[in-house]
Chains A and B, each alone.
Chain A
Amino acid sequence: DTAVSQTPKYLVTQMGNDKSIKCEQNLGHDTMYWYKQDSKKFLKIMFSYNNKELIINETVPNRFSPKSPDKAHLNLHINSLELGDSAVYFCASSQQGVGGELFFGEGSRLTVL
């Protein structure tokens, strides 16, 4: 069973479109995250949710809107896509108070044309 799963794995779309990436974890963790990895492999946190509550919202355009329907799911919706949004987006989860390591999904590669 995949611990942290993201869909879709690949996403190719036109500028101006709206798209969503879904994430689910079956580890029973209480915290979930979205990270963005750019073309130089740099990883930057975008959002974190703890028990469905937004904890971190880094300097991210408000075109990006995370939604956590429950502790096991954290989706990312992006409006009005721009060329600079092309990246790999990683979902991750962790459990507070237990070592602090993050478990990552396989990533979703978004290409905006």
Chain B
Amino acid sequence: AQSVTQLDSQVPVFEEAPVELRCNYSSSVSVYLFWYVQYPNQGLQLLLKYLSGSTLVKGINGFEAEFNKSQTSFHLRKPSVHISDTAEYFCAVRLGYSGGGADGLTFGKGTHLIIQP
């Protein structure tokens, strides 16, 4: 079975500084990878996803992530954060077989990004 580890439960960053949120996955087969953001009292919104092809994936709100198969990582980055980026960020994985399946996503425990003025 696949699993996801987000090592940092909380990351404080000053406004306009760069940030990296770490995500490592474990799977014996190919996977699809996702980053979701959850603002307070809201649902989850997709930031970006990696299915195949270029390992550098660009998403919404200036975020990007890089898939590294050898290190089984999919870290999320943003060059300059804003107060509005304060939220919970979730890395997720699902099996990458054709058809997608109905097995849903396996989520990491989340990283709370705190932007300090």
Q: Give residues in A with beta carbon < 8 Å to B.
A: 4, 31, 33, 35, 40-45, 48-50, 55-56, 90, 92, 94-107
Contact = CB atoms under 8 A, between A and B. Distances in A.
A99 B101 contact: no
B105 A102 contact: yes
A30 B112 CA distance: 32
Given A35-B104, A42-B107, A100-B100, 18 more contacts: A4-B43, A43-B110, A48-B104, A55-B102, A55-B103, A56-B104, A92-B104, A96-B99, A97-B99, A99-B100, A100-B32, A100-B94, A101-B34, A101-B46, A101-B49, A102-B44, A103-B46, A107-B43
Contacts of A45: 104-106
Nearest to B90: A43
B71 interface: no
Interface of B: 32, 34, 36, 38, 41-46, 49, 51, 88, 90, 94, 98-107, 109-110, 112
A50 B105 CA distance: 15
A97 B94 contact: no
B92 to A, nearest CB: 8
Contacts, number: 75
A44 B41 CA distance: 18
Contacts of B43: 4, 90, 104-107
B102 A31 contact: yes
The residue among A40, A100, A103 with the most chain B CB atoms within 10 A of its own CB is A100
Nearest to B100: A100
Contacts of A40: 109
Contacts of B110: 41-43
